[in-house]
Amino acid sequence: MESHIALRADNIVKYFYEPEKFQVLKGISFEVKKGEFLALTGKSGSGKSTLLYVLSTMDTDYEGQLHLNGEALTGRTQNQLAAFRNEHIGFVFQFHYLLTDFTVLDNVMLPALKLNKKSRAEIEEKAYQNLKLLGLDGQALKLASRLSGGQQQRVAIARALINDPAVIMGDEPTGNLDSKNTQNVFEIFRELAHERGQTIIAVTHDEDFARNSDRIIDMSDGLIV
Ligand SMILES: Nc1ncnc2c1ncn2[C@@H]1O[C@H](COP(=O)(O)OP(=O)(O)OP(=O)(O)O)[C@@H](O)[C@H]1O
């Protein structure tokens, strides 16, 4: 795979078997460049979330080939994939899944403590840098539950960035936010892509958000249109 490609999907096919056999992804192929900000759009039920879960390596029940950062991901064990994900992919969901009884700082540090490649002091420094980038440096020692929805979503982004992932994936990352916070998250994603070379793949229903991304992949009925 060429070195400027962050992710490549080749002919991804997936079925669901309940309540009856149903082909949800019908042969999806595309590449995403390093530093590209991609929006994944399409009507409800078109298969966006299903595709994102395949791309994220969380769902391994598919046919086809997936390469991320030049590495083939097909045929690995669940443990190998979990380790790969923690190091190379950051996730931001519509609902942030923060540990609300922990501080903001603890939440952001957690994936790096799990990865266990840096000292606690280095991780803490990186966490403070991320919080600063997201305008949250004054909030580090508060409980996550004490922050507003928009602030919590920014904490989730700071957490997603802690291991410097090559790819950041979002499933409706602004779905729960007002227009001001949506704009804010959009600007952060753009900066990560264009200034740091991180690749963003975000499922979104927000037309403005999609229109301002670098490229839209529009899905319909399990296919890219
Ligand atoms: N676990 C599952 N078992 C069976 N069918 C499923 C399952 N998950 C999703 N589906 C079906 O697969 C299709 C695609 O779902 P998916 O959630 O990927 O769509 P989407 O484009 O993300 O929709 P939305 O925009 O509403 O989130 C839908 O018809 C959905 O009902």
Phi, psi values for residue 151, rounded to 5°: -65, -40
Q: Are 3 and 163 in contact (CB under 8 A)?
A: no
Residue at 61: amino acid letter: D
Using DSSP bridges, classify how beta strands 89-93 and 167-171 pair: parallel, antiparallel or unpaired: parallel
Closest-CA residue to 225 (of 79, 66, 47, 59): 47
Of ligand 1's atoms, which has the minimum distance to the CA of residue 49?
22
Q: Which of 14, 26, 44 to mutate to test the pocket of ligand 1 (most atoms within 8 A of CB)?
A: 44
Residue 1's pLDDT is 60
Does ligand 1 lie within 6 Å of residue 41's CB atom? no
The Cα–Cα gap between 160 and 158 comes to: 5
User: Is the CB–ligand 1 distance for residue 44 below 6 Å?
Assistant: yes
Does residue 178 contact residue 14 with C-beta atoms inside 8 Å? no
Q: Among residues 107, 113, 178, which one has the least CA distance to residue 144? A: 107
Burial class (CB in 10 A: 0-12, 13-18, 19+), 102: middle
The radius of gyration of the chain from alpha carbons, rounded to an integer in Å, stands at: 17
Residue 10: per-residue pLDDT: 97
Instruction: Please name each of the domains of the chain with its CATH number.
Output: 37-49+76-224 (3.40.50.300)
CA-closest candidate to residue 224, choices 26, 50, 57: 26
Q: Please report, in tens digits, the pLDDT of each residue of the chain (225 residues total).
A: 668 999 999 999 999 999 999 999 999 999 999 999 999 999 999 999 999 999 999 999 999 999 998 899 988 999 999 999 989 999 998 877 899 999 999 999 999 999 999 999 999 999 999 999 888 989 999 999 999 988 998 999 999 999 999 999 999 988 888 888 889 889 999 999 999 999 999 999 999 999 999 999 999 999 999
At 172, is the secondary structure helix, strand, or coil?
Answer: coil
H or E stretch at 190: helix 179-196
ipTM for the predicted complex comes to 0.97
Q: Kindly state if the Cβ of 47 falls inside 6 Å of ligand 1.
A: yes
pTM equals 0.92
pLDDT at 176: 82
pLDDT of residue 93: 84
- Find where tokens 């060429």 sit: 2
For residue 16, the ligand 1 atom closest to its alpha carbon is: 4
Q: Which residues pair with 218 in a beta bridge?
A: 41
* pLDDT at residue 128 in the model: 97
Rounded to whole angstroms, the Cα distance separating 90 from 111 reads 10
Give 49 Cα–ligand 1 centroid separation in angstroms.
7
